[in-house]
Amino acid sequence: MNAPGLMDETKRMDVPQNAHVRSMWRNKRLFVMIFLFTASLINYADRINMSIAAPSVAKEFGWDAGIMGLVLSSYLWSYTAFLIPAGWLTDKLGPRKLNSLGISFWSLATMVTAGVSGFGTMMAARLALGVGEATTWPSSGKIIRNWFPSQERGLATTMFRAGGDLGATIAMPVVAWLVVKSGWRMSFVILGAVGFVWLIFWVKYYRSPEQCTWLPAAERDYILANNGSGPAVTAAATDKPKVKGVVLRLLGQQSMWGLGLSQGCIVYTQYLILTWLPSYLVQVRHMQLVKASVFSSAAFLIAMFIGIGAGKLSDMLLTPEKVLRGHRRTLIVVCMLISCSISFVGVFKDPIMVFAMVTLAKAFVSASMGLNLSLTNDLVTNPAVAGTAFGIQLLCANVIALMAPIVTGFIVKTTGSFDSGFYLAGAILIIGILISLTCTRKPITIS
């Protein structure tokens, strides 16, 4: 049997449309994509600020590596804990309000970091940062569901995710320059202020497709006919269950677990690269810190373009009917398989081959992350609970992925080598492939 609204949605996507409105690049929804891309960029830039400023912060306060480890990781504690509430609030308040609250909160937390006087106030600022940043991914997933036809979800989601890669790429040299020129405190003030500039434009221009006055009627009709929010689905979404009911009903479905666990297997390698790659390059490959930073930035930049390309490819290869049946998982599995190149980083001695393995792993991990989020939008038939579904998926992902820096550090301490850490990441990706193939085959239905 088809899920509620599935047959109607398929029929709507078969209706001939004006060819002009089919291209995101020539239409107004491109501006929404720019909003999402830059929000992700700012999100990651504010995350990485402390990583770059850490030596200066530690020197000023006299903190050892153990205390700095707590400071660096603390935002992830509140970030992970708040993902499901953020997803539910997205469904309850709408992404416009929640994104406004979220970026205001984390930008203020970033700026307040400049005025901390010790460990307690620093931890409070970092925990507040995590709470604010938890809103971005669930709300952006909901926005993509509302604004982009199913034929564009892969491209839209990977472009949003690519903003984080570009944010990490440019933040490292920019923050380093700010720290040298103006001190670490001023770097937090300046980066925090960028979020408030974004907020001004967001509040002024962003609305849902139904309420957006600057959206042409032809494009609005095309979006609403192809985003899975038509009459049959909307009618089912009017009675929104309370948060506990939504979460329990989503957790009762195999595909929800499959999406969360497979995302965790993907993000594990992402966190391994984010946390340990510079140290590996310096300690094992004997690169100078500047060279290691350039190496890492180049891998992130290439990853951004490959991730966007994979998203576009998934949209080109899939018919609307295949999107609704979850066939995007095929390309996800291919990307995850290529990401297993992380296992070979320690095998090659040639720096060019090391760069190739790291770049392949980072690029296709980025692609897999974006495509798996797209698959969530494909499988969740009721857009009214999409935000909560993203919150659950991202919570599962972060709980698993947060183990990457801890486990890898233990492996290095025990064996004196990073190799087993890379092998383990590859094995976890294989587990993720099996989960994706077997546990994400059914629509997620809540009416």
For position 41, what pLDDT does the model report?
95
Domains detected in the chain: 26-206+236-437 (1.20.1250.20)
Higher pLDDT, 428 or 278: 428
Q: Which residue has better confidence, 136 or 23?
A: 136
Q: Which amino acid is present at 196?
A: F
Quick one: pLDDT band at residue 242, thresholds 50, 70, 90? low
Closest by CA position to 151, among listed 403, 323, 392: 323
- For residue 218, the model assigns a pLDDT of 93
pLDDT top residue among 104 and 57:
104
Q: Which pLDDT band, with edges at 50, 70 and 90, does 287 fall under? A: confident
Query: Over 60: is that where the pLDDT of 10 sits?
Result: no
Average pLDDT on 322-339 reads: 92
* pLDDT at residue 243, rounded to an integer: 60
Query: What would the mean pLDDT of 231-251 be, rounded to a whole number?
Result: 62
Better-scored residue on pLDDT, 244 or 212: 212
Percent with pLDDT over 70 in the chain: 91
Residue with tokens 């994509």: 33
Across the chain, mean pLDDT equals 87
Residue 342, C-beta contacts closer than 8 angstroms, at least 6 positions apart: 269, 272, 273, 357, 358, 361, 365, 422, 425, 426, 429
Q: From CA 291, how far away is CA 287, in angstroms rounded?
A: 6
Residue 132: which pLDDT band, with cuts at 50, 70 and 90?
very high
Q: How far apart are CA 258 and CA 271, in angstroms?
A: 20
Alpha helix ranges (H) inside 82-152: 83-93, 95-113, 119-133, 136-147
Mean pLDDT of 126-149: 94
Asked if the model's pLDDT at residue 5 lies above 50, the reply is no
Tell me the three state secondary structure of residue 260: helix
In whole angstroms, give the CA distance from residue 389 to residue 407: 28
Q: What is the dihedral of CA 258, 262, 263, 265, to 10 degrees?
A: 150
Give the HSE-up count for residue 377: Cα atoms under 13 Å, Cβ half-sphere. 31
Band (pLDDT 50/70/90 cuts) for residue 127 is very high
Q: Give the residue with greater pLDDT, 176 vs 365.
A: 365
pLDDT at 231: 45
Start-to-end C-alpha separation, the chain: 15
Give the separation between CA 9 and CA 11, rounded to whole angstroms: 5
249-282 pLDDT tens trace: 999 999 999 999 999 999 999 988 877 787 788 7
Q: What's the confidence (pLDDT) of residue 288?
A: 75
